[in-house]
Structure 1
Amino acid sequence: MASLTSREPVEVRQLGGGDTAAAFAVRLDDGAVVFAKTAPPSMPGAIEAEAASLAWLAEPGTVAVPAVLGHSDRWLVTEHVEAAVPTAAAAEELGRGLARLHAAGAPAFGAAPPGGPADAWIGLAPMRNETAADWPTFYAEHRVEPYLRRAVDSGALSAADGAVVSQVCADLDRLAGPVEPPARLHGDLWSGNVHWGADRAWLIDPAAHGGHRETDLAMLHLFGCPHLDRIVAAYQEVHPLADGWRDRIALHQLFPLLVHAVLFGGGYGAQAARAARAALRAG
């Protein structure tokens, strides 16, 4: 890890983290503190994908993203940001910045970040970045359907509920709302990947790709987020969402719910089925 920063670690403190990696705050010999994480061998390419995602999200300069200081196939070293209490002002800045990030665009739906692998990850789940001509095709073929098959095969989703999800895929042209250009997405923007610093919110652990901007907003709604109303209101000031976007939240939550159903079981399969039915009713 020292070779990644050209400085020697003198103190290492393990941090609490998610279920995908071990994370550490590392004090270097010049007094600087950096953040370091390592991915398990079962997730090949995960570090490469995250480093490329962070660089791509940082490129427009619209949102706070930890700077990548170095990486290898096993280690990622970034700027360290001390956690702080979420504030309304930081939430509003995040909303405005997220709107501008999305507007920075992507080459295509499903496009990976420059230098990033097509085979990436969302949490512990593989996520293939394969381009498509339009968002309904991309979302059905490269997000929903792979996990739909796994959820039904594993018993996390009944065959009857699986048929409802399949109907959503068949009707996506109708359900997707107004056509929009590919947006530059964080891609896994649940509340745990919004890191609140002293004066602003930082985006971490991205699964970036070209997608529909409503997806990031739907992810923020999935498990709740501090000051979410402020985030959305500030977003709307900069780049208003298309009419009916709230009715499409369930549609955009379908993929992460299917991923959770496959990985964790429990009630996520039933929740995915409810989201599919809600998407069909809203359309």
Structure 2
Amino acid sequence: MSSEVRSCTPLGSSHAWTLYRGELADGRRFFAKVAEGHAEALDSEAAGLRWLAEVPGGADVPEVLAAADGGVLVMEQVHERGATAAAADDLGRRLATTHRAGAEAFGASWPGWLATLPLDNTPGRAWPEWYARRRLLPYLRDAHDRGFLDSGDVAQLERVLARVDDLAGPDEPPARIHGDLWDGNVLWGRDGAVLIDPAAHGGHRETDLAMLELFGAPHLERILAAYHEAFPLADGRRDRVPLHQLHPLLAHVCLFGRSYRTPLLDAARRLL
């Protein structure tokens, strides 16, 4: 960061980091996270932001102003204005451009994190096997070990895992995805949508869309329609949405407990 800090205001905490906002001496406003634990998660976030930002015409992300080992991440502040239909159309097109940029493999060259949960980014070539092994199984074991899922729940999800090759649909090359694209990670700025807090990696492009659908988003149908027009989706996507939602739902079970057990099992039942 090439400018001194003029002001800095604490905003409280989220997960394992303390949040701040402030202004630099050159007038730029910033948003910062300082780790109280899991400092490596902020290193992963910085790597993901920079990787997503490489795509010309892709989805906007905050500029990383500074990132330091030990858990400090400083980004440009997003000035929110609210969602509009035009901004939703633009997000759909830009997200398609980001996905088209692709990745060398499923996974990433840096360790992954989803909030305070580690993500195994070990690269792989076949998405169904990679998704089951690197995204679903670790969290399934963790949720059971924490007592949030019982043996019957695990057996139901294991039946889905046994069918993952059939459920996954047509083969797709690795897409450059945000990886945690729920509505809270979409800020509607004055120049359009800005995507924050990524768990970026090479993944399946339908994962980002399914995450947007999981908790809803303003003008969701316009986002999806603009995306499909720019980068048509394979037939049967609607049937695959629950498969892509299993990982975020498992993560929510691990982070927040049994309150997310029912939607997780409902998603599994829709696949069986």
Q: Aligned to 1:231, what secondary structure does the other structure show?
A: helix
Deviation at residue 44 of structure 1 after TM alignment = 3.5
Specify the code of the residue in structure 1 equivalent to 2:100.
Answer: A
For residue 76 of structure 2, the aligned residue among 79, 82, 95 is 79
| Long gaps (5+) in structure 1 | none
Deviation at residue 18 of structure 1 after TM alignment = 4.1
Separation in 2 of the partners of 1:78 and 1:44?
16
- Once superposed, what is the RMSD of the aligned Cα atoms? 1.4
Residues 151 and 269, structure 1, Cα contact 8 Å, conserved in 2: no
Residues 107 and 201, structure 2, Cα contact 8 Å, conserved in 1: yes
Instruction: Say whether residues 1:276 and 2:268 are aligned partners.
Output: yes
Separation in 2 of the partners of 1:16 and 1:245?
39
Counterpart position of 2:211: 219
Deviation at residue 270 of structure 1 after TM alignment = 2.2
Separation in 1 of the partners of 2:86 and 2:12?
26
Instruction: Say whether residues 1:96 and 2:88 are aligned partners.
Output: no
Residues 189 and 220, structure 1, Cα contact 8 Å, conserved in 2: yes
Q: How does 1:1-283 map to 2 (within 5 A)?
A: 5-15=1-11, 18-41=14-37, 43-61=38-56, 62-73=58-69, 74-112=71-109, 117-118=110-111, 120-280=112-272
Deviation at residue 29 of structure 1 after TM alignment = 1.9
Residues 151 and 261, structure 1, Cα contact 8 Å, conserved in 2: yes
Specify the code of the residue in structure 2 equivalent to 1:207.
Answer: A
Separation in 1 of the partners of 2:218 and 2:245?
19
Separation in 2 of the partners of 1:178 and 1:40?
43
Cα distance change, pair 18–243 in 1 and its aligned pair in 2 (3 A): farther
Separation in 2 of the partners of 1:79 and 1:86?
20
Residues 28 and 76, structure 2, Cα contact 8 Å, conserved in 1: no
Per-residue CA deviation, residues 65-85 of structure 1 (Å, 9 max, x unaligned), is 111111102211112111111
Separation in 1 of the partners of 2:190 and 2:12?
19
Give the TM-score normalised by structure 2: 0.95
Deviation at residue 16 of structure 1 after TM alignment = 6.3
Per-residue CA deviation, residues 119-158 of structure 1 (Å, 9 max, x unaligned), is x211121111011220011111010001111112222112
Deviation at residue 257 of structure 1 after TM alignment = 0.7
Q: Which moved more, 1:23-32 or 1:195-204?
A: 23-32
Q: Which moved more, 1:74-83 or 1:236-245?
A: 74-83
Separation in 2 of the partners of 1:124 and 1:147?
12
Deviation at residue 167 of structure 1 after TM alignment = 1.1
Separation in 1 of the partners of 2:192 and 2:125?
36
Q: Which moved more, 1:224-233 or 1:150-159?
A: 150-159
Residues 162 and 273, structure 1, Cα contact 8 Å, conserved in 2: no
Deviation at residue 13 of structure 1 after TM alignment = 2.4
Specify the code of the residue in structure 1 equivalent to 2:34.
Answer: T
Deviation at residue 216 of structure 1 after TM alignment = 0.3
Q: Aligned to 2:267, what secondary structure does the other structure show?
A: helix
Separation in 1 of the partners of 2:25 and 2:149?
52
Cα distance change, pair 17–199 in 1 and its aligned pair in 2 (3 A): farther
Q: Aligned to 1:11, what secondary structure does the other structure show?
A: strand
Q: Which moved more, 1:9-18 or 1:230-239?
A: 9-18
Separation in 2 of the partners of 1:11 and 1:130?
40
Residues 58 and 64, structure 1, Cα contact 8 Å, conserved in 2: yes
Give the TM-score normalised by structure 1: 0.91
